[in-house]
A = this chain, B = another copy of it.
Amino acid sequence: MAGRLTPEREAELYEAVLGLLREVGYDGLTMDAVATRTRSSKATLYRQWGSKPVLVARALRHNKPVKLDQIDTGSLRGDFRTAMALGDDCKMEEDAALMRGLMHAIHDDPDLHKAVRELLFEPELNGLDRIMQRAVDRGEVSADLPALKYVTHMLAGAFVGRQFIEDKAPDQAFLTDYVDAVVFPALGV
Contacts and interface: CB of A to CB of B under 8 A. Distances in A.
Interface of A: 103-104, 107, 125, 145-147, 149-150, 152-158, 160-162, 164-165, 177-178, 180-182, 185-186, 188
A187 to B, nearest CB: 8
A117 to B, nearest CB: 9
Contacts of A107: 103-104
A65 to B, nearest CB: 20
Contacts of A178: 150, 153
A162 B149 CA distance: 11
A153 B158 contact: yes
B161 A152 contact: yes
Main secondary structure of the interface of A (DSSP, over half): helix
A156 B153 CA distance: 9
Nearest to A183: B186
Contacts of A156: 156-157, 160-161, 164-165
A185 B147 contact: yes
16 contacts: A104-B104, A146-B180, A147-B181, A147-B182, A149-B181, A153-B161, A153-B165, A153-B178, A156-B156, A156-B157, A157-B157, A157-B158, A160-B160, A182-B186, A185-B188, A186-B186
Contacts of A155: 157
